[in-house]
Amino acid sequence: MVFEWLSNFWHWIVSTIEFMWDKIPFLLEGAKLTIYIATMAFFIGLAIGVIMGILRVSGIGVLEKIATLYVELIRGTPLVVQILIVYFGIPIVTGLRFDPILAGILTMGLNSGAYQAEIVRSGIKGIPRGQLEAAESLGFTYWQSMRYVIIPQAIRIVIPALVNEYATILKDTSILIIIGVAELTRKGQYIAAWSFRYFEVYITVALIYLIMVLLISRAARILERKLRIPGLGVTGARI
């Protein structure tokens, strides 16, 4: 009984591998596009995040309100809806048509910007007040203090959170399937649709995502070690 079940399972595994083997390059092409979109979106998001994050703690009423509005607007609406608006909605109003990949990158970048703004803001808040005081006592303007003293420390503190955000974006690119971007999930869907082997195909797709995420967190640990500075970081300054 048990033996029979094991034997069936083994056959299923073998046949799955046999079936999937030559489809892997096709899927990896999709994975490449997934990485490309996620990376572009991440850095657009980082740029927005740093600016918005600073504005949110700037103490300048108007700018703070604008940044807060941005963050709440983005975080309060579903990513899928945002993508539909950018890809289908905006062309109708403006006549400006994006190709699906560009629409995906822009939307996900704008979306991630709001989350990264919150990450950057928490990083800035985590820097002891004395740092800003010391910088200002030396004659730095508020913006110089931010640029040379606060932000470089804040970014180091939030590296784990940023990496986490990158992994999230990478996985979220799968919803670009709704506008037909040929990323990893879409490629899988294509194979599944003609072979009807939904289970095997999507398990393989899931595994590829998993491997990418694991590689990212491994790379992040190396980056963290590279950027590590004695006395700075999770353990806090030694006095």
Partner 1 sequence: MTDPILKVKDLHKSYGDLHVLKGVSFEVKRGETVVIMGPSGSGKSTLLRCIIRLVEPDSGDIWIDGVRVTDPKTDLIEIRKHVGFVFQQFNLFPHMRVIDNITLALTKVHKLPEDEAVKRALEVLKKVGLEDKAYAYPGELSGGQQQRVAIARALAIEPKLILFDEPTSALDPELIGEVLKTMEQIAEEGKTMVVVTHEIDFAKEVADRVLFIDYGRILEEADAKTFFSNPKHPRLRAFLRRLLERV
Q: Minimal distance in Å, beta carbon 227 to partner 1?
A: 9
Is 86 or 149 the residue whose CB approaches partner 1 more closely? Answer: 149
Q: Decide: 44 and 112 in contact? Cβ < 8 Å.
A: yes
Is 63 or 127 the residue whose CB approaches partner 1 more closely? Answer: 127
Applying CB under 8 A, the residues found at the interface with partner 1 are: 128, 130-131, 133-141, 144, 148-149, 152-153, 156, 229-232, 237-239
> Rounded CA gap, 77 and 114, in Å?
11
Using CA atoms, how far residue 145 sits from 18, 53, 114, 117, in Å, is 60, 15, 23, 19
> Rounded CA gap, 24 and 17, in Å?
10
Residue 128 region, left (φ>0) first, then alpha (ψ -120 to 50), else beta?
beta
> Rounded CA gap, 192 and 55, in Å?
47
Q: Minimal distance in Å, beta carbon 43 to partner 1?
A: 22
Is 157 or 176 the residue whose CB approaches partner 1 more closely? Answer: 157
Q: Minimal distance in Å, beta carbon 228 to partner 1?
A: 10
Is 95 or 139 the residue whose CB approaches partner 1 more closely? Answer: 139
Q: Minimal distance in Å, beta carbon 112 to partner 1?
A: 25
Q: Minimal distance in Å, beta carbon 225 to partner 1?
A: 15
Residue of 207, 209, 200, 215 lying closest to 174 (CA atoms) = 209
Is 96 or 229 the residue whose CB approaches partner 1 more closely? Answer: 229
